[in-house]
Structures are given as C-alpha cells and as structure tokens.
Structure 1
Amino acid sequence: MLRLLAVIPLSALTLAFAEPAAAEPLTLVPQTLTEWKAVYGTIEARDRMPARARLSGTLIELSVIEGDLVVAGQELARVVDDKLDFQLAALAAQKDGLQAQFTNASADLQRGEELLKNGSTTTQRVDALRTQVDVLSGQIAALDAQAEVITQQQREGIVLAPASGRVLDVPVARGAVVLSGEPIAVIGGGGIFLRISVPERYIANLKEGGEIRISDAEGPVSGTLSRVYPLIEGGRVVADVEIDGLPDGYIGARMQVRLPVGSRDALMVPATSLVTRDGLDFVAVETSDGAVLRIVVPGQHEQRAGVEMVEILSGLRAGDVVVPADEVAAHD
C-alpha cells in the first residue's frame, strides 16, 4: 500500500475549517490500543425449565402460547383423567354402605351397654360390638384417605409454571393425550445472557471479568465475560457474557460481539483534529517553520476518557505536536 506523507502550508490550500480541531497542543506518544475480533453471540435464557404434566390424561385446557410472559405458579394447562371420577364414585358408594353398617353397629353397641348395666348381657358381647364399631370406623377413614389421594391426583392435573419467564415452546395442543412427566411448555427464566463461540487460538486472551463489546440498534454496549467453559469442540471454545439490557423478546437471536484478542502500540489523536478535504485527511502539527497540515491515514476509532480518539496509521510519528487547525492560519 502506498502511504502519503506531505507537509502542506496553508498558503498552498484554500481550506476553511468550521471549528478548531483541538483545544490545546498535544504531544504524540505511543498508546496501547486493544485489538478486537468480531464474532457472533447467541442470546440464551439462564434456565430452561419444562412445565410437566403430573397426571396422565387428556389436555382439556391450554392457556399459553410461545412468547407469553408467565409468573411462577401461574396455571398453564389442565389435564383430566376421567377414570378418577369413576374411582371417587366407587369409593363414595363403599363409604355409604359402611356408614350404614357403622350406624347399625353403633346402635347395637348402645343397646348392649344398657343391657350390661342391667346385667342382661355379658361384657364379652359388648366388647365384640365395640370392636365392630371401631373396625367400621377405621374402614370409613381408609375410604376417606383413598378419596383424598384421588382428589389430589385430580388437582395435580393443573400444570403450573415452575418459574417466572417467557414461554419458549409449547410442544402439545389442546385435546392431546399426555403422559405423566411429559412437558407441556418450556419456560425460559432466571435472566438472559449472551453465549459466544470463539476459535481456540484466542483462548489466551479470554479472561473472566474482561470487557466485551456488542453492537445493537442503539449503538455499542459493553459487557463482562462471566464464564469460559473448559471443553473445546470443533476447535472452538464457548464463553458466557453478562450484558445489562439485552433484549429478551427472542431467545436464540444472534448479536455481533467484539472480543479483545491482543494489543499494540499506536499513535492516537482526537477525532476533532482530523480535517477532510477532497478525500484526504489532514492533521495540523507544529514544526520549526510553524504550524502545517500533514496528510494522514486514520485507522481505528476508540473512546478514551469520554473523548473519541483516532489511530493514525501513517503521516505522524511519536513526538509530533498536534495543534488546532486554526493555528495554521495564524502562522500563514
């Protein structure tokens, strides 16, 4: 590449500058400049939790679709097993029969206790009647417990959201027959992060806590490298990046990421020091003959202490004093 280096007095140019390039002279010294590598990252949910059916049966209600926001404990669907209703009816009939026997046995026990007071029956007979009452009472309690188990199974037909988040997938439809343990919906919760895959040659530059930059619709945003996974597959290493304000509308969306992969020394000037005319870039510098304009080749831009700086690839050297462009006119 042909690099141009020229010293051009203002008298040889008819340039007008709208504003001064810099507020005061700047002596150029080499500065460390970070080299960035552009890769793509994928937005991922921290937790992917399936909302599973706890009861086998027919899915009669489904109240969510993909993309819905849900809160922990929210009802998502309802599964019904008709056999449970028949079992409850059978238990209720058995209980009615035992309840009738219990009522009769209780009356016999009461009469036996009265006869025992009069000496018309034996204690053994009364004890037998009391045992019969206790047995029937226990059988009724057992039926109540069985009915409560079946009622609890019916309640478990309600599928609840395991956590707050966004519904990522609903693999079933209303009216489907589902089995116990089958996922009804997949919830993405616990926050989101950016997962990147980087060529293994850059491993030495990936440090947990390091700065990562991304580009979005509103401009560049910085994040932090939170985790680097030790397993390398296909010559690439996987890492997670924590970034505030990531859009959560689309899990799996790709975003461009810039990784720090090295550093080098470079000469940098404020972006306002550059003057462009006729396709050429100039920077005003102080020389023994006064302020002159030099043709430069600008490179990478970077924000430093709130000031936009530009790398100068050619045209300046360390020790040059960059002055405001209007000082060229003062020396003309």
Structure 2
Amino acid sequence: MLRKTTGLAAALFLAACGQGEQAAPAPAAAQGERLTVQLSQVAQQKPLAAEIATRDQAEALVRIPGTLVDLRVREGDMVTRGQRIGTVTDSRLGYETAAYGAQAAAASAQADAARAELARIEYLFKRGVYAQARLDQARAAARSADAQVRAAREQQSASAATAGQGAIIAPATGRVLRADVPQGSVVAPGMSVATVTSGPPILRLDVPQSLARSLRPGAVVTVQDESPLGGKQGTIVQLYPAVAGGRVRADVEVPGLTTDLVGMRVSVLVDTGSRPGITIPRRFVSTRFGIDYVDVLAKDGSAASVPVQTAPGAGGSVEILSGLKPGDVILAGKAAR
C-alpha cells in the first residue's frame, strides 16, 4: 500500500512540473526606435593653440644715427602709411651742413674772381696784349671755379637731406603693436622703434611637424575658447614650407577677426582628415552613475544594456569607441529589460 501511494505522489509531481514548464511565457519583444550600427568616416580633430596675428608686421626703422627726440605713438594707436611718428636728430649734421655752406660761399667768391679775370683777359686779348693760350687758361680757370661752386652746393644739399632722414615714417597702415624705445635714447641706423600691423588679421598656428602632412589648405579650424571667438570656424589659407624648432607655421582666416587683441592665444580644433569609426545619435545613449549604456537588441527580440565608451561627435552625435560592433541593432530610449 505504501509503494502505491509513493508512486502516485511522484506521478502527480511530474505532471505539475510539466504543466509549469508549458505555462512559462516567452520574453516580450522590446519596443522603440531601432538603428543598425554601421561603420562611417569620422572626422579627426587635433587640439592646438593659435595666436591672433596679422599676415605681416612692418617695422619703423631709424635711418640715421642720433638721438630719438620725439616718438608720437604708443601701443594700440592707429597709423597710416607715410605718417611721421618720430624724429631722430644728429647735431653733427647741422655743423656739417653749415661747413658745406661756407665752402659753397668761398667757391662762389672764387668763381666771381675767375670770371672777372676772364673778362679782363678777353678785353686785352682783343687788343693784342695776350696770346690765345693765356685766354684759354683763363677760361678753364673760370669753368673750374663754377664747378667747385656746384660741388659745394650739392654737398650742402646732401647734408641737409641726410638731416631730413631723421623723420621716422610709418611703413604701413595699421595698429602699433610695439613702441617701447623711450625718448632721449641713442639710436643707430636700422634700429626698430615701432612695430605696425600690416595685412588682414589671421590666426597663426604652430603645428608639430608630425602633423604637418595631415594639414592641407582649406582644412576647417574651430575655435574652442571662452573668448568672443568661441565656436567660430575658419579655414587654413597658407602652410609655410619650412620647419623651425620642430614646428610648422600655418595661417587661418576667420570671419570677424579683428586686430584689437593681436597676440592673444586661443584654443582651436584642427581638422586633420578622417578615419573609419562608429557614430550614433546621442538619444541612443543613456548615462547611469557616470557610465554610458546602449540598449542592444538580442536575437530573441529582447534588449540588453551594454556599457560603451563614447567620445563627443559632430552634430549631436557621439562616437562609440568600444562596446558596439557593425551590425548590432540598438534601441532608443528605455527599452524593456
């Protein structure tokens, strides 16, 4: 009797287990916007530093030795080409000009005496007192005296013109960047007393030589800075074919750039080409406790949260560095888990 009761209980237990397994519901299919992950070309950008500059810088140079007695500009002033911005004087030139003037006066007096002598000899020659040779000699002496007068006057004019070169002239129209030579300083020819901007304002990049071959004219440069230039974009217009100190210089044109803050440094992102990668819209990524997750659709229709490593992308997208592969199907929003 005991054996029959035990067998009946086991049969009832197995039947109940079989009914439980058949009653287990299938997993519900996840709902939401779907996207199939694909490879695409991702723009590569490198963070660099740039400096606001001008295409060229002109130097206001001293032309004669002497003393800087007047400097009429300061940093930040606007000047026009040909404007007189300073004066250099050399007292020696004044004495030299006066000496040449005295020589010209003496030569003029000698010329007057020679012409008078020539007139007297011509008068006596007509009356047969002097021979032709004496007349020729007097004429040569008069011409020589006139030449000495002209030479002395030219020397006087040259000395006066040299003194006039003490004027310091602005070499270009622009803003004065530097004018730090104090008045009263002794200066020499070729010495710069002021630096003036010349040409349109630009952003100047110093690019490491390892990135030089990745740059090209027309590449996009984006300003990443808290200054008023933040967010503006420009293009590389010139790459200089030389390496100095392991760096290559490049000029970038940015609309709206001014020369108000020449020399200011800003942070930029430079487009250096593209590479294959995975980018998805930001709405497919959720962040929990500082970790980014993406809902990946499984083969049975369920969704699972997968942690991913992301990087900022362009146009509201993010780049997936790890966690997804091409062909995966992902869901937007909170899918069923």
| TM-score for both structures, normalised by structure 2 | 0.69
Deviation at 1:256, TM superposition (A): 0.7
Q: 2:268 aligns with which of 232, 257, 260?
A: 257
Partners of 1:62 and 1:238 in 2: CA distance: 36
Maintained 8 Å contact 2:179/2:194 = yes
Q: Percent identity?
A: 28
Tell me whether 1:208 sits opposite 2:216 in the alignment.
yes
Q: CA deviation at 1:140?
A: 0.4
**1:170-189 equivalence runs, <5 A:** 170-189=179-198
Against the structure 1 CA distance between its residues 282 and 222, is the aligned structure 2 distance closer, same or farther, given a 3 Å change threshold?
farther
Higher gyration radius (CA): 2
Q: Please give the secondary structure, in 2, of the residue aligned with 1:135.
A: helix
Structure 1 residues 60 and 111 mapped into 2: Cα distance closer, same or farther (>3 Å)? Answer: same
Cross-structure match for 1:224: 236
Structure 2 counterparts to residues 241-256 of structure 1, below 5 A: 241-245=251-255, 246-256=257-267
| Alignment-derived partner of residue 239 in structure 1 | 249
> How far 1:204 moved relative to its partner?
7.3
Aligned-residue offset at 1:53: 1.0
* Runs of at least 5 residues in structure 2 that lack an aligned partner in the other structure: 1-28
Look up the SS of the partner of 1:35 in the other structure.
strand
* DSSP-derived class of the 2:194 partner: strand
The residue that corresponds to 1:4 in the other structure is: none
Q: Distance in 1 between matches of 2:159 and 2:240?
A: 49
Q: Counting strand residues as a fraction of each chain, which structure ranks higher?
A: 1
Contact 2:66–2:90, Cα closer than 8 Å, also in 1: yes
Partner of 1:84: 93
Cα offsets for 1:89-145 (capped at 9, x unmatched): 222222223222322332332233233223343333322322221121011011011
**SS of residue paired to 1:128:** helix
Distance 1:86 1:184 in 2: 26
Structure 1 pair 26–220 and aligned structure 2 pair: CA distance change class (3 A): farther
The structure 2 residue matched to 1:66, chosen from 65, 75, 90, is 75
Query: In structure 2, do the counterparts of structure 1 residues 261 and 39 end up closer, same or farther at CA, with 3 Å as the change threshold?
Result: farther
Q: Which residue pairs with 1:109 in the alignment?
A: 118
The CA RMSD measured in Å over matched residues stands at: 4.1
How many pairs align?
296
> Which residue in 1 is equivalent to 2:25?
none
CA gap 1:90/1:35 in 2 versus in 1, 3 angstroms: closer
The residue matched to 1:43 in structure 2 has which SS? strand
Unaligned 5+ residue runs, structure 1? Answer: 1-6, 11-20
Contact residue 212 and residue 248 of structure 2 kept, 8 A: no
> Matched residues in 2 for 1:182 and 1:301: separation?
51
Helix, strand or coil: the match of 1:302? coil
Shift of 1:54: 1.1
**Quick one: which of 128, 132, 138 aligns to 1:129?**
138
Q: Distance in 2 between matches of 1:230 and 1:100?
A: 64
Q: Is the 8 A contact 1:44 1:195 kept in 2?
A: no
Aligned pairs (5 A) from 1:121-200: 121-191=130-200, 192-198=202-208
- Higher relative contact order (Cα pairs below 8 Å, separated by 6+ residues): 1
Partners of 2:134 and 2:328 lie apart in 1 by 121
